[in-house]
Amino acid sequence: MTSALHSSAYEELRTLFSRLSRFDHLSAISGWDMQTMMPPGGNKARSEALAELSVLRHQLLTNKKTGALLERAQQESLEEIERANLHEMRRQYDNAVLLPDSLVEAKSLAGARCEHAWRTQRPANDWVGFSGNLREVVKLSREEAQIRAHAAGSTRYDALLNLYEPGMRSSDLDRIFADLKTWLPDMLQKVAAKQQQEPCLTPQGPFDVDSQRKLSLSVMALLGFNFDGGRVDVSAHPFCGGVPEDVRITTRYNEKEFLTALLGIIHETGHARYEQNLPREWLGQPVALARSTAIHESQSLFFEMQLARSADFLKILRPLIVNQFGEQPALEEDNFIRLNQRVKPGLIRVDADEVSYPAHVILRYEIERALIEGEIEVEDIPALWDEKMLSYLGQDTVGNYRNGCMQDIHWTDGAFGYFPTYTVGAMYAAQLFQSVRNALPNLSKAISAGDLGQLFHWLQQNIWRHGSRYPTETLITKATGESLNPCYFRQHLENRYL
């Protein structure tokens, strides 16, 4: 993997970044435990321990010696993938060196405090309590954004967006979302009118948690999840965490219905398969990390939307469900397919169908950008949320904070710039799935027969194994023959729903 000709700067950097990845490993597993297993009384001590770890990592990464090594390594003779690795090292260093240790620590503590309190404040519909903690997170996120924007010569929001989706700008998002807004509301109405003519039965519960968990495990196995390198648990908000060698996914169960938890599992398994198939020979190095948040979301939405809501896949999913809960009219094949392709705008983003989902994302993007740019304050969020929810989705959220502006976990730890990558990811997923169809003419027949191997092999060859070797645009162009083209997303929705 490394030639004997190399002098020591690059090798020293490899050793350093291996150490940093071990810090990340500890942080990831400790953070997973915090959200799943840790007793409530442990939050303060755990938050302080994680903040200490983040400061140690930051100090190690931003040491003057690291900067000098990066300069020296730039002059060395490196192979193409080593050059890509060095580029990602430099990117991590440049992003980190801008921030003082004190801000890194303060952000970590404020985020942990806000997220922990959110778990009880959300069920209690306690906006006042939540907003008190969120104000501190926003204040620190604006500080970070200002520092980054000054260095990059960009807007504050673009400086944060760049952490999640390198190279993307809000001007790109504005163009993409403006186009979406021209056709999405009309499509929503057309699909709703069409589906009103198609009666659809709802499965009758209760659906006990133990059976739902068994169903989750069988579906994860069908989707190729490696249980030797991961596990599934319960949390207040579904997520995928851990590290490639030990991926942790979570869902939340409801005995009244099983589809929300199941689709959550499929979504997180998409994230997990990507993590489990990152280039093993480079693990511990930045080049082996997932390319970007939108590429990560493209994998989860590829699984949840492109694959799992397709009639072909629903035909092989249905027997697994019947095996756990028995036959009933709502689980008859045609009804079951209609049920999973039902378009019905609702309050909750993670439960949304794929036609109304982008509206949830655009709403959050517009609010968080205005918040980071200082155009609005935390206390303005509920009224703006209510107004946009009514306008974009026809839903009333006045006074319903728990199912309105408090429903997500992202803002609690200052992940501003993350939300738009969901819809960009959905667009990448549609483009990727079309490319798979072009490459594998018998794909539909293979999926119906339960043979998903070809599909996963294509993803492994074209996305997973490359990690961060290429910039996003290069990765997508290599996989599909063109850079991001939102037309595939619209075409997919029209084909499936109209």
Q: Rounded to the nearest 5°, which phi and psi values hold at 482?
A: -155, 160
In angstroms, rounded to a whole number, what is the distance separating the alpha carbons of residues 303 and 169?
Answer: 27
Identify the sign of the CA torsion 115, 120, 123, 126. negative
Distances (CA, A) of 384 to 103, 341, 366, 370: 29, 30, 10, 11
Tell me how far apart the alpha carbons of residues 58 and 97 are, in angstroms, rounded to a whole number: 8
Of residues 397, 392, 403, the one with CA closest to residue 363: 392
d(CA 271, CA 247): 9
Catalogue the active-site residues. 268
Give the three-state DSSP class for 467. coil
- Are 467 and 278 within 8 A, CB to CB? yes
Q: Residues 370, 157: contact at Cβ < 8 Å?
A: no
Distance of alpha carbon 487 from alpha carbon 484, whole angstroms: 9
* Strands, E assignment, 237-382: 240-243, 246-251
Distance of CA 352 to the CA centre of its chain: 15
Which of 293, 287, 286 lies closest to 19, judged by CA? 286
Q: How far apart are CA 286 and CA 455, in angstroms?
A: 27
User: Could you tell me the strand order of the sheet in which 240-243 lies?
Assistant: 230-234, 246-251, 240-243
**SS3 for 246?**
strand
Q: What's 382-438 look like in SS3?
A: HHHHHHHHHHHHCCCCCCCCCCCCCCCCHHHHCCCCCCHHHHHHHHHHHHHHHHHHH
Residue 443 has φ and ψ, to the nearest 5°, of -60, -45
